[in-house]
Amino acid sequence: DPILSRSLLPTLGRAGVTAALRDLGLMDICPVFRSDEDDAQGQPGIMCKTIALLAYETEVLLCVLRLSQRLQISRCASAFGLRRTDVRMAREDELTNMVGYPRGCIGPVGSRHGVKGVLLDQELATEQRLLCGAGEEGWVFAISAAAMVEAVPDCQVVPLR
């Protein structure tokens, strides 16, 4: 597969996420800031992680859940109408080529290659301020669950754990 077999591509960094937020019309409502500092709004938020999965070894699926939660891959597979055996977690050495970001920096927007879909854990569906990876270690962007579902292509709310 060309996505996985290429030599390591450079990361897209914060600029990749910022460009994606701009393209989705979210720059005005989704501040990007260092996770160890307060952003201009100074509001608390829920730290989230975005886990990249591969379906059929080529299709990228992203799952967003609370940082402290564990992902059940079988639930993700089911949400996409796939069998568990068709889906696996992306390896750390595949992430930069696939999504453009290393582990710990991935968010639900700005993927290098199109994603089949984004799943948001049902536990987060009503939250006003999710803090998601912004492409570089220590950087996040804030987004409401409603804005994510509305603006991020193929985003759906499902129970992930």
pLDDT tens, residue order, the chain (161 aa): 445 555 578 889 999 999 999 999 998 888 899 887 655 456 789 999 999 999 998 899 999 999 999 999 999 999 999 999 999 999 988 898 889 999 999 999 999 887 889 999 999 999 999 999 999 999 999 999 999 999 998 999 999 88
Structure tokens at 83: 């069998």
State phi, psi for 76 to the nearest 5 degrees: -65, -50
**Cβ atoms of 65 and 71 closer than 8 Å:** yes
**Cβ atoms of 151 and 27 closer than 8 Å:** no
Cα–Cα distance for residue pair 97/83, rounded to 1 Å: 25
Structure tokens at 41: 């709004």
State phi, psi for 131 to the nearest 5 degrees: -105, 110
